């Protein structure tokens, strides 16, 4: 009887685990995106505080290290740790700069979560729609790729209008590196050149 | 004619074999890159010198309702092509949607000038023979940049020909067919370009290399269109979490 109970318990635990991971990913997106939207819509914050808060939230949601290594593609393994660190810093500054330039357009949107699909344990896609605010005439379907990193869910890619952003960045970045003889410093320099106030030096 | 058909079948066979070998591949090669880059530069120059000014003038002199009517009209004209491909792909619900949209817009929507079906909750979708070939397992072949028409693949380029036969206007006789067809193409192209002025500008500003950016956007949006937005989760690339520094 005891053995039977243990078997049933183990099986149900194994089956329930992906469900819990998927739900965790769903709650993560709901909570974090709402937090970002709250920051953007908060009239009590001045511009500088809003930008700082926004950047803090983004860095908590996304794992820049993992994304930076992904966009380097096969070149990540060939580069030195120092090169990867420099690239990651330049990539982070660039990405935040892009978001910063778009901040004024957003803030009054709402997110609707539809479903979550688990790709494999610790790797889920959350399907959402962003409506209202800047997209009130054309709600956008957005997919979030959530990966569990060090027991914490993190966004590593998002898909808008059929385009996965990290995958697109990888195509562009690896293209630049390939055209520069495999030197990832070329990509670091290029990212820096496109970022206002870039402080990364090779 | 027989020789043309034979060449088409040979090409079809090689694409199919190639497709079976590389169906789950995430990366697409670009063996024709030097040719494609030359075509891309040509198209970019044409765009900057002719298309953008013409599109801006078109937007300035044509009121928005007229532009929307024109777009709806062209989209409605393409419905038989979409319907044929919906049916060939066995997408019966989508075929029903296309047929209902076509019937409603052609009648209540005054020949397609008004998209009344959309207001009834029937959203438009696109299909073409290139997508139909993809659904049957035929590979995309190499990336191709076509003069004026822009990014494509060998499969999508070949798919344009059967689509031509599905279009009802192919069989319609006019006194001066060339004038009508050319006017239709120029208007359709101008209208389409005028609607992407902002997004293309943004892409040009943010792209590290415009050619690579457009190529990736093409492959990704095309893959999404083929699966009708449904993900094949196994095809998504892995993120290397284990080697984080």
pLDDT digits (tens, 9 = 90+) for B130-143: 999 999 999 999 99
Q: Does ipTM surpass 0.85 in this model? A: no
Residue B237 located in a structural domain: no
CA distance linking residue A122 with residue A153, whole number of Å: 8
Residue range B40-45: mean pLDDT, rounded: 96
Would you state the pLDDT for residue B2? 45
DSSP state of A197: T
Q: Among A97-106, B144-153, B160-169, B213-222, where is mean pLDDT lowest?
A: A97-106
pTM: 0.83
Residue B98 located in a structural domain: no
CB-based contact, A179 to chain B, within 8 Å: yes
For chain A, the farthest-separated pair of C-alpha atoms sits apart, in whole angstroms, at 69
Would you state the pLDDT for residue B19? 46
Six token digits for residue A1: 């009887």
CA distance linking residue A47 with residue A41, whole number of Å: 11
What is the Rg, in whole angstroms, of the alpha carbon atoms belonging to chain B? 20
| Cβ-defined contact of B241 to A147 (cutoff 8 Å) | yes
In percent, the amount of chain B with pLDDT more than 70 equals 86
Domain span at residue B139 reads 31-60+128-166+196-226
CA distance linking residue A108 with residue A128, whole number of Å: 16
Cα B231 versus chain centre, distance:
20
DSSP conformation letters of B12-72: HHHHHHHHHHHTT-S----TTHHHHHHHHHHHHHHIIIIIHHHHHHHHHHS-HHHHHHHHH
A136-182 pLDDT, tens digit each: 778 888 999 999 888 889 999 999 989 999 999 999 999 999 999 99
**Residue A160: which residues within 8 A CB-CB, separation 6 or more?**
A140, A141, A142
Most confident of A93-107, A149-163, B177-191: A149-163
Residue range A178-196: mean pLDDT, rounded: 90
Residue B11 located in a structural domain: no
Asked if A184 and A75 count as a contact pair (C-beta separation under 8 A), the reply is: yes
Query: For residue B236, what is the nearest residue in chain A, using CA coordinates?
Result: A119
Position of tokens 């079948």? B9
- Taking the CA of residue A119 and the nearest CA in chain B, the distance in Å comes to 6
Would you state the pLDDT for residue B170? 81
B215 or A32, greater pLDDT: B215
CA distance linking residue A157 with residue A168, whole number of Å: 10
Q: How many domains does chain B have?
A: 1
Given a cut of 60, whether residue B20 has pLDDT beyond it is: no
A11-65 pLDDT, tens digit each: 444 444 555 567 888 888 888 888 888 777 777 777 788 888 888 888 888 899 9
Residue B219 located in a structural domain: yes
Query: For residue B232, what is the nearest residue in chain A, using CA coordinates?
Result: A119
Given a cut of 60, whether residue A100 has pLDDT beyond it is: yes
Angle at A143 between CA B139 and CA B93, to 5 degrees: 60
CA distance linking residue B161 with residue B130, whole number of Å: 10
Q: Among A3-17, A142-156, B76-90, B100-114, where is mean pLDDT lowest?
A: A3-17
Report A:54-113 residues touching B (Cβ under 8 A).
63, 65-67, 69-70, 76, 81, 84-85, 98
Most confident of A15-19, A46-50, A130-134, B93-97: B93-97
Tell me the three-class secondary structure of B98-142, residue by residue: HHHHHHHHHHCCCCCCCCHHHHCCCCCCCCCHHHHHHHCCCCCCC
Would you state the pLDDT for residue B232? 82
Neighbouring CB atoms inside 10 A of A152's CB total 11
Beta strands A163-164 and B143-146 are unpaired
In percent, the amount of chain A with pLDDT more than 90 equals 35
Fold observed for domain A2-193 = Nuclear Transport Factor 2; Chain: A, (3.10.450)
Asked if B21 and B140 count as a contact pair (C-beta separation under 8 A), the reply is: no
Q: Among A74-83, A192-201, B9-18, where is mean pLDDT lowest?
A: B9-18
Looking at beta carbons, which residues of chain A come within 8 Å of B215?
171
Q: Compare CB distances from B240 to A70, A117, A175 and report the shortest one's residue.
A: A70
Q: Residue ranges per domain, chain A? A: 2-193
- Picking from B36, B204, B216 by the largest number of A CB atoms within 10 A of its own CB, the best residue to mutate is B216
Would you state the pLDDT for residue B23? 40
Residue range B10-30: mean pLDDT, rounded: 49
Residue B158 located in a structural domain: yes
Residue B67 located in a structural domain: no
Given a cut of 90, whether residue B82 has pLDDT beyond it is: yes
| Residue B8 confidence class, pLDDT cut points 50, 70, 90 | very low
Q: How far is CA A106 from CA A4, A117, A141, A144, B163, in A?
A: 55, 27, 16, 18, 41
Residue B100 located in a structural domain: no
Q: Among A33-42, B35-44, B111-120, B125-134, where is mean pLDDT lowest?
A: A33-42
Would you state the pLDDT for residue A5? 54
Given a cut of 60, whether residue B236 has pLDDT beyond it is: yes
Would you state the pLDDT for residue A201? 63
Residue B88 located in a structural domain: no
Given a cut of 60, whether residue B151 has pLDDT beyond it is: yes
Looking at beta carbons, which residues of chain A come within 8 Å of B234?
119
CA distance linking residue B161 with residue B129, whole number of Å: 8
Would you state the pLDDT for residue B1? 44
């Amino acid at each position: 009887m005891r053995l039977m109970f243990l078997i049933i318990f183990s099986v149900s635990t194994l089956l329930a685990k992906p469900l819990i991971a998927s739900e965790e990913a769903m709650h993560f997106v709901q909570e974090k995106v709402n937090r970002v939207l709250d920051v953007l819509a908060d009239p009590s914050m001045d511009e500088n505080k809003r930008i700082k808060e926004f950047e803090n939230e983004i860095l908590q949601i996304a794992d820049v290290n993992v994304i930076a290594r992904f966009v380097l593609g096969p070149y990540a393994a060939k580069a030195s740790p120092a090169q990867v660190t420099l690239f990651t810093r330049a990539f982070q500054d660039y990405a935040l700069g892009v978001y910063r330039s778009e901040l004024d357009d957003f803030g009054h949107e709402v997110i609707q979560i539809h479903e979550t699909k688990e790709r494999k344990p610790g790797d889920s896609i959350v399907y959402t729609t962003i409506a209202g605010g800047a997209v009130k005439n054309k709600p956008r379907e957005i997919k979030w790729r959530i990966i569990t990193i060090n027991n914490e869910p993190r966004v590593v890619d998002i898909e808008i209008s059929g385009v996965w952003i990290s995958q697109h960045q990888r195509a562009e970045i690896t293209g630049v590196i390939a055209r520069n003889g495999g030197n990832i410093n070329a990509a670091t320099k290029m990212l820096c050149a496109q970022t206002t106030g870039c402080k990364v030096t090779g | 004619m027989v020789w043309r058909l034979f060449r088409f079948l040979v090409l079809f066979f090689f694409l199919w074999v190639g497709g079976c070998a590389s169906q789950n591949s995430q990366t697409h090669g670009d063996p024709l890159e030097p040719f494609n880059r030359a075509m891309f530069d040509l198209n970019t120059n044409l765009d900057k010198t002719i298309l953008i000014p013409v599109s801006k003038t078109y937007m300035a002199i044509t009121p928005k309702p007229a532009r929307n009517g024109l777009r709806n009209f062209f989209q409605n004209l393409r419905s038989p092509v979409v319907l044929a491909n919906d049916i060939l792909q066995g997408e019966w619900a989508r075929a029903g949607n296309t047929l209902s949209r076509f019937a409603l817009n052609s009648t209540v929507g005054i020949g397609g000038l008004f998209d009344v079906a959309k207001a009834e909750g029937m959203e438009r979708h696109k299909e073409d023979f290139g997508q139909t070939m993809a659904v049957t397992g035929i590979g995309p072949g190499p990336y191709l940049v076509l003069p004026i028409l822009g990014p494509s693949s060998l499969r999508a380029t070949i798919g344009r020909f059967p689509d031509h036969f599905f279009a009802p206007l192919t069989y319609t006789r006019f006194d001066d067919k060339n004038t009508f067809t050319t006017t239709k193409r120029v208007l359709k192209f101008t209208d389409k370009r005028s609607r992407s002025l902002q997004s293309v500008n943004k892409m040009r500003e943010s792209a590290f290399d415009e050619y690579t950016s457009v190529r990736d956007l093409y492959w990704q949006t095309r893959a999404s269109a083929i699966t009708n937005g449904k993900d094949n989760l196994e095809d998504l690339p892995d993120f290397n979490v284990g080697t984080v520094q």
